[in-house]
Amino acid sequence: MSHASIPRQLLRRQLLESSRCRRHTSRALPTGRRRYATQEKGEKEDFKGQLYQSTNERVERERAEQARFSQIRAAQKASQGRPAWLVPFVLTVGILGGWYLGQRQTTAPDTGSTAPLYKAIPPQHDTAPTTLQAAWSDFKAIVGEENISTEEANVKQHSGSEWSSYPSLPSDQPFAIISPGSTEEVSEIMKVCHKRRIPVTAYSGGTSLEGHFAATRGGICIDFSRMDKIIKLHKDDLDVVVQPAVGWELLNEELGEEGLFFPPDPGPGAMIGGMIGTGCSGTNAYRYGTMKDWVLSLTVVMADGTIVKTKQRPRKSSAGYDLTRTFIGSEGTLGLVTEAVLKVTPKPQNTSVAVCTFPTVRTAADCVFTVVGAGVPIAAIELLDDVQMRCINEAGGTSRSWKEAPTLFFKFSGTPTSVKEHINIVQGLAKKAGSKSFEFAKNKEEGDELWSARKEALWSLMAKKKDESDHVWTTDVAVPISRLAEIIEVTKEDISKSGLTGSIVGHVGDGNFHSIILYNDKEHDIADQLVHRMVKRAIEMEGTATGEHGVGLVKRDYLPHEIGEAGVDLMRKMKQAFDPLCLLNCDKIVRVQRPKPGEVQEW
């Protein structure tokens, strides 16, 4: 049938069907009913007009369809002679190319130098039981089943401590404790966690105070207790290579046999990994500086398992960014330290201790300012207030009884002649400041006896706990030395007014002091407000929320007040760069998602 004949047949069929419809329906239409055509013409003309119009429209549509089919046939003829596989190949390439471009065309990268909290995307971890069980098999293959623990008591121990100021929640516990034995094993563990998006918390000595190792996101805890080796001592270069679970006390015992020592001395039980993580110091900080001054190089496992060495062993280097100090004080949020090269120094030829008491904390603090201003080369200056001295006596942790008055402990080191000279100078300055008594050790045994009181501070106050409802809140701040006397005096008055038992203990030579507060469950809010006012006071004096304890969970919301929002946003950007999936010690130092209403304490 030709294309030209189609319209005539359609027209003929339409006319016949319309005629039948007209005969069938004309009798049923009531008189006066509106018709499809204008009412000015008769019914016969009306119907024909409608019929011709409808037929014409259908013919036009048919012609359009014919034109479209003609174009398709023309295209098919034009493609004749090409390989049969060409069209499927082009289609396949198009589909794959579209998929690839779709994968590449993600959200435009953030070009800002900082990462404000309002832009932060909450971490997407996977701690589903099936994921963790599957990972358990991977961990078993890496470290052996005997080095994995899921025992309840062990898990609880690795999530908090009785001396921490952060009260761990039941949900702040890891699924398992993994104990690697080498940097390579840590790397393999992190590769598994990175692939499966499992969060990780690091653990060494467990002596930190601000909730540093609470597993707020679950996941696993990497316990470095098996990595406790002193790898090598370079005596001529005055450095030593150690693993993270080496304790500073054990290290100094070993170094002492070679006539050397490592100055940072935080609380008993602290280990090198945690000391690096918090950027700690201790009683020797006044003369020798803090942890950052004694670390030469680090070996670090990154969040994806990459192993990085920050530097070699020279005492100084200007080669690129200072990656070593970037990790010091990062609290395990940027990478896991598996090896450290530490500076050491010759032990002083002679060491002595002097103790003097004062009528008030203010006069004791004023004496510190005077001694520091005189430039006397003292190894350490420690302050214990009257409450602390009373607690030491009641605990009976030392072999002698102490005057229950604000007391300064001075440590001197050097040649016998220089030590004697420095003691005489300090004795004179203390007398002018109002000291009531002054005694100094005549030998090492007496020196150890006098200094032992300082090391018993925390434990003596903890000994006053009566039951499980009692807790100890240990916190610290630091201020410029010229404001030290003022803040100590005001803080002591605030503690007294609160009705709680609290003491002042400080590495006051560098403007850093601690407060140890005893409270029970019902008094938690009182202690919380007491600490809040203390920290706020220090920051307003151009000081810091923490001199050496670190930020952890407890102090993170003070950082914006101390260094500004932009500074915190820069830290968050660093966290995102080093650990994009936020697997390492998530929630510590900086928030990674917006807080809930009322979660942040009002300034």
pLDDT tens-digit map of 469-496:
899 999 999 999 999 999 999 999 999 9
| 251-267 mean pLDDT | 95
Q: Decide if pLDDT at 68 tops 70.
A: no
Q: Model confidence over 423-464: pLDDT tens digits? A: 999 999 999 999 999 998 888 887 888 888 877 887 888 888
Which residues are paired to 501 by β-bridges? Answer: 518
pTM: 0.81
| 149 and 220 belong to one structural domain | yes
pLDDT > 70: what percent of the chain? 84
The domain boundary, picked from 347, 370, 402, lies at 347
Residue 549 has what pLDDT?
94
Query: Same domain for 146 and 272?
Result: yes
Q: Which of 347, 377, 399 is the last residue of a domain?
A: 347
324 and 407 fall within a common domain: no
502 falls in which pLDDT band (50, 70, 90)? very high
> At which residue do the structure tokens 């410029």 appear?
480
Please state the rounded mean pLDDT for residues 58-73.
68
How many folded domains does the chain comprise?
3
The predicted structure's pLDDT at residue 454: 79
Domain hosting 267: range is 122-347
Of the candidates 498, 589, 509, the residue with the CA atom closest to the CA atom of residue 545 = 589
Both 172 and 288 in one domain: the answer is yes
Asked if the model's pLDDT at residue 331 lies above 70, the reply is yes
216 and 308 co-located in one domain = yes
Look at 124-133, 397-406, 552-561 and tell me which has the smallest mean pLDDT: 397-406
CB 221, CB 154: distance < 8 Å: no
Question: What's the whole-number mean pLDDT along residues 230-246?
Answer: 98
Report pLDDT for 81: 57
The pLDDT of residue 451: 82
Does residue 381 share a domain with residue 341? no
Per the listing, tokens 């014409």 go with 56
Asked if residue 445 belongs to a domain, the reply is yes
Q: What three-state secondary structure class fits 474?
A: strand
The domain boundary residue, chosen from 347, 367, 392: 347
**Average pLDDT of the residues in 173-184:** 97
Pair 487, 544: CB distance under 8 Å: no
Residue 311 sits in the same domain as residue 385 = no
So what's the pLDDT on residue 35?
35
Same domain membership, residue 361 and residue 287: no
Q: What's the chain's average pLDDT?
A: 87
Q: How far is CA 398 from CA 25, 393, 461, in A?
A: 120, 8, 14
